[in-house]
Amino acid sequence: MSNATTTIESLQPSSAAKFRQRTLPILIFAAVIFAIPMTDPSRTMYSLMHQIGINIVFALSYNMILGKAGLLSFGHAVYFGLGGYFCMHVLGWIEDGVGPFGNYPVFFLPLLGFGGGALAGAVIGWPSCRKAGTTFAMISLGVAELIAAAGFMFDSLFGGEEGISGDRMNGPEMFGLSLGPIDEVYWFIAFWTVVGVIGMFAFTRTPLGKLSEATRDNPQRVQFIGYNPQQVRYLVFIIAGGFAGMAGGMAAVNYEIFTPESLSLIPSGFVLIMAYVGGITYFAGPIMGAILLTYMQSMMSDFTEAWLLYLGLMFVAIVMYAPRGIAGIVFGFVDGIRGGNAGAYFTAWIIRLVGCLLMLLGAIVLIEMSVRWSNGYGEVFEPFGLHLGHTNVLTWILIIVPLVAGGYILRRASREEEEGAA
Amino acid sequence: MTTPALSLKNLSKSFGPAKIINDVTLDIAKGERHAIIGPNGAGKSTLFNLISGLYVPTSGTVSLNGTLISGVPPHEINRMGLSRSFQVSNIFANMTVRENVRCGVLHSLGQGYSFWKNIGTQKDVNAKTFEVMEHCGLLDKANTPAALLPYADQRSLEIAITIAGGADVILLDEPTAGMSHSETDRAVDLIARATEGKTLVIVEHDMGVIFNLADRISVLVYGEIIASAPPSEIRGDPKVREAYLGDEALPEEVV
């Protein structure tokens, strides 16, 4: 490539690339959102969709600090919860028609949630964003414990153990939505999910968004291009808190109840897992993670009582073998297929998939059998009419053979890849 | 007399009982190309860290264009027009070359911490980024992730980020360390072009580079400046020969 042909324009992504990477995903996203109600979903399906929408915004806001700014927080639910609690109080004021928000439309509550979360981020981030790394992580853990404990102590603010509940069908109606029936809430959730996704994507394209990546990569160098890394972190932290609060506001309207549990370490850990499993190096990663994990959370618990064990296994497997997450696997697959040797890549991929599935099969039989054995009710794992008790030899064959075979296939595949690369 | 671009007065820095920089006084005029040489452990990098604000002096002062800057945080010193590079490549590894340089130009173009502008449509930012990359010969690698660049190009990128903000006092810490001869020649050429009309302070081990570039050379030994003079005089100074150059032959006339 010669310099003579290089111009400012040629360095920027072409309009075709822009369309493919930015406009097209948004169009597909919008099409999916409009298509979902046409399938006439059940109430369960609707509540799952709403939960997914809320978690998409929540996980993306978490990734603003983890993936983009390189700050590991164990307390992101604090901003979700405080934003949500603020919205619950506003719901109460709207119902009573009192205060400055007495006539506020419920539809725009997530905006107030954003404000609440951002304010909480501004207060808590002030001391904690001075340091990055382990110090920041420990402070976030301490703050999360502190706020969660406070949640159970200050009853008038947080409603004690039963929390605060409200009614979303008050105040002025927007866009003809009373927000009563669940299919009207759907449009509310869809609207704010899109606002959140576009807002946070746009943020990655701003000077501050780029500076947050720069600060993650090299805080020292940031000082010598004229920026204060502490201030970059602090500003990103406030905005991330705002988007978390926005998700909290969506949850407030959707569930009409908030309990102090929402501030605790459990949702903070869950959002970390959603973002990480999805892939923190990709913008779309946390979206994928939110969809998959929310689905697992609400659907897998119907199939197996050990679903948390599967979640943990999946998290460990991703951290160890696919640190770029589901998005890394998906985009890696697309790149591999598009690359020179599609056939060979596909074959290698299928072999790995078979290896993974075999190991999964062994793990499932082991887990399901052990859970029932340990419960001691004499219950037996019976898939496809098989009787897989712990005394059955077939059970142990079905555990050991797939685990060993799958492990062998995966080892061979990775060894071949190393040799191929060398 | 005009104010010097950089003025160090009785500058000292101790880490515990260890005195690393001891009573250094040095004026560097505007537009001067000043080299600092000295054996390993003489305190050259510490001196740079003191000037650029990374360390706070134990005693003494640093002034930039007449303004006192000792104790001022590094990012503010940078905004006052002093920029530095590092001995080890200190770049934003996960970004492309273009994004690296773009980060470097942001502040000088008044972008601040803005989160309401699209960085891709800021015409002045893109134009300046292009200009700096062109200047440093990085255009054909603009969309390469910085971590994947060959070493010499990483050093060029380091210089590109350093000059991107348009600072008029440039501190370069061993810009050619670890380079081959031809790479060094190209780097010297780049440094000469990039710092034209600016004040340059450079730490370097390669004597060829120093005698090529510098108007004046200071020799730092055990935290003290033992000589500060034009290259021709430094070459003949017996103190310098003894303390630093040892048996090493100086390059004769450098063309």
Contact residues on chain B for A228, CB-CB shorter than 8 A: 73, 75
Half-sphere exposure of B20 (CA within 13 A, CB side): 18
**pLDDT digits 0-9 by tens, B141-193:** 888 888 888 888 888 888 888 888 888 898 988 888 888 888 888 888 888 88
Residue in A8, A210, A218 closest to B119 by CB: A210
Same domain, A371 and A310: no
Residue A79 — very low, low, confident or very high, per pLDDT cuts 50/70/90?
A: very high
DSSP three-state, residue B143: coil
Q: Does residue A57 carry a pLDDT above 90?
A: yes
Core vs surface per residue A311-325: b (16+ CB within 10 A) or e: beebbeebeeeeebb
Q: Does residue A219 carry a pLDDT above 50?
A: yes
Instruction: Tell me how many degrees the CA angle A221-B34-B170 measures, rounded to the nearest 5.
Output: 25
Question: H or E segment at B24?
Answer: strand B18-28
Taking only Cα atoms into account, the Rg of chain A, rounded to an integer number of angstroms, comes to 24
Can you spell out the DSSP letters for B38-60? --TTSSHHHHHHHHHTSS--SEE
Q: Is residue A230 part of a domain?
A: yes
Same domain, A23 and A126: yes
Contact residues on chain A for B131, CB-CB shorter than 8 A: none
Q: Does residue B71 carry a pLDDT above 80?
A: yes
Please report the pLDDT score of residue A1 as a whole number: 40
Structure tokens at A130: 């001075």
Residues B170 and B163 sit within 8 Å (Cβ to Cβ) = yes
Alpha helices, DSSP H only, in A322-382?
325-338, 342-375
**pLDDT digits 0-9 by tens, A163-177:** 888 888 777 777 777
Residue A3 — very low, low, confident or very high, per pLDDT cuts 50/70/90?
A: very low
Same domain, A261 and A367: no
Contact residues on chain A for B143, CB-CB shorter than 8 A: 11
The count of other CB atoms within 10 Å of the CB of residue A371 is 15
Amino acid at site A386: L
Residues B9 and B46 sit within 8 Å (Cβ to Cβ) = no
Question: H or E segment at B218?
Answer: strand B216-221
Yes or no, beta carbons of B140 and A1 under 8 Å apart: yes
Among A319, A350, A370, the domain-final residue is: A319
Block residue for tokens 């990663």: A285
Same domain, A128 and A180: yes
Phi, psi (rounded to 5 degrees) for B229: -160, 170
Please report the pLDDT score of residue B253 as a whole number: 46
Yes or no, beta carbons of B93 and A6 under 8 Å apart: no
Same domain, A214 and A353: no
Which chain A residue shows the shortest CA-CA distance from B90?
Answer: A221
Same domain, A122 and A80: yes
Same domain, A311 and A218: yes
Please report the pLDDT score of residue B255 as a whole number: 41
Q: What pTM was computed for the model?
A: 0.85
**pLDDT digits 0-9 by tens, A229-265:** 888 999 999 999 999 999 999 999 888 888 888 888 8
Angstrom distance (rounded) from CA A243 to CA B76? 30
Summarize the confidence of residues A397-419 as an average pLDDT. 83
Contact residues on chain A for B98, CB-CB shorter than 8 A: 11
Contact residues on chain A for B161, CB-CB shorter than 8 A: 221, 225
Same domain, A82 and A120: yes
Residues B11 and B49 sit within 8 Å (Cβ to Cβ) = no
Q: Which residues of A touch B (CB under 8 A)?
A: 1-3, 6-8, 11-12, 202-203, 205-211, 213-214, 216-218, 220-228, 231-232, 235, 239
Task: State the smallest CA–CA distance between residue A186 and chain B in angstroms.
Answer: 29
- Domain map (residue ranges) of chain B: 6-245
Same domain, A351 and A278: no
Please report the pLDDT score of residue B244 as a whole number: 61
Yes or no, beta carbons of B84 and A224 under 8 Å apart: yes
Residue B27 — very low, low, confident or very high, per pLDDT cuts 50/70/90?
A: confident
What's the N-to-C CA distance of chain A in angstroms?
28
Please report the pLDDT score of residue A6 as a whole number: 63
Q: Is residue A333 part of a domain?
A: no
Task: State the smallest CA–CA distance between residue B249 and chain A in angstroms.
Answer: 37
Q: A330, A239, A337: which is closest to A277 by C-alpha?
A: A330
Yes or no, beta carbons of A227 and B75 under 8 Å apart: yes
Q: A291, A210, A174, A24: which is closest to B129 by C-alpha?
A: A210
Please report the pLDDT score of residue A401 as a whole number: 85
Q: For the purposes of burial, counting CB atoms within 10 Å of the CB of B150, is it exposed (0-12), middle (13-18) or buried (19 or more)?
A: exposed
Q: Is residue A305 part of a domain?
A: yes
Residues 6+ apart with CB under 8 A from B214: B33, B34, B35, B202, B231
Please report the pLDDT score of residue A114 as a whole number: 93
Please report the pLDDT score of residue B251 as a whole number: 52
Yes or no, beta carbons of B111 and A207 under 8 Å apart: yes
**pLDDT digits 0-9 by tens, A131-149:** 778 888 888 888 888 988 8
Summarize the confidence of residues A66-93 as an average pLDDT. 89
Q: Is residue A330 part of a domain?
A: no
Total number of domains in chain A? 2
Angstrom distance (rounded) from CA B140 to CA B158? 16
| DSSP summary character for residue A171 | S
Residue in B106, B122, B143 closest to A11 by CB: B143
Q: Is residue A5 part of a domain?
A: no
How many residues are recorded in chain B? 255
| DSSP summary character for residue A385 | G
Please report the pLDDT score of residue A84 as a whole number: 92
Summarize the confidence of residues B189-198 as an average pLDDT. 85
Taking only Cα atoms into account, the Rg of chain B, rounded to an integer number of angstroms, comes to 18
Same domain, A26 and A54: yes
Residues 6+ apart with CB under 8 A from A404: none
**pLDDT digits 0-9 by tens, B88-112:** 878 888 888 888 888 888 887 777 7
Summarize the confidence of residues A85-112 as an average pLDDT. 84
Yes or no, beta carbons of A218 and B83 under 8 Å apart: no
Angstrom distance (rounded) from CA A355 to CA A344? 17
Q: Is residue A124 part of a domain?
A: yes
Please report the pLDDT score of residue A52 as a whole number: 92
Please report the pLDDT score of residue A397 as a whole number: 81
Phi, psi (rounded to 5 degrees) for A19: -60, -45
Residue in A206, A224, A227 closest to B118 by CB: A206
**pLDDT digits 0-9 by tens, B224-255:** 888 888 887 877 777 777 766 554 555 554 44
The mean pLDDT value of chain B amounts to: 83
Residues A152 and A159 sit within 8 Å (Cβ to Cβ) = no
Please report the pLDDT score of residue B174 as a whole number: 86
Same domain, A298 and A408: no
The domain that holds A142 is classified in CATH as 1.10.3470
Block residue for tokens 């990569």: A217
Residue A58 — very low, low, confident or very high, per pLDDT cuts 50/70/90?
A: very high
What are the strands of the beta sheet with B216-221, ordered from one edge?
B82-84, B169-173, B199-203, B33-37, B216-221, B224-229
The mean pLDDT value of chain A amounts to: 84
Alpha helices, DSSP H only, in A154-296?
155-158, 182-204, 207-217, 219-223, 229-255, 265-278, 285-295
Block residue for tokens 């605060």: A164
Summarize the confidence of residues B49-65 as an average pLDDT. 88
Contact residues on chain B for A208, CB-CB shorter than 8 A: 113-115
Please report the pLDDT score of residue A195 as a whole number: 92
Please report the pLDDT score of residue A10 as a whole number: 67
Please report the pLDDT score of residue A78 as a whole number: 92
Contact residues on chain A for B114, CB-CB shorter than 8 A: 206-208
**pLDDT digits 0-9 by tens, A301-351:** 777 778 888 888 889 988 888 888 888 888 888 888 787 777 777 888 888
Angstrom distance (rounded) from CA A329 to CA A308? 23
The interface predicted TM-score (ipTM) is: 0.81
Domain B6-245, CATH class in plain words: alpha beta
Q: Does residue A383 carry a pLDDT above 80?
A: no
Structure tokens at A374: 């340990």
Percent of chain A with pLDDT over 90: 19
Summarize the confidence of residues A210-221 as an average pLDDT. 88
Same domain, A199 and A98: yes
Contact residues on chain A for B74, CB-CB shorter than 8 A: 223-224
Range of the domain at A382: 339-421
Block residue for tokens 């970004």: B95
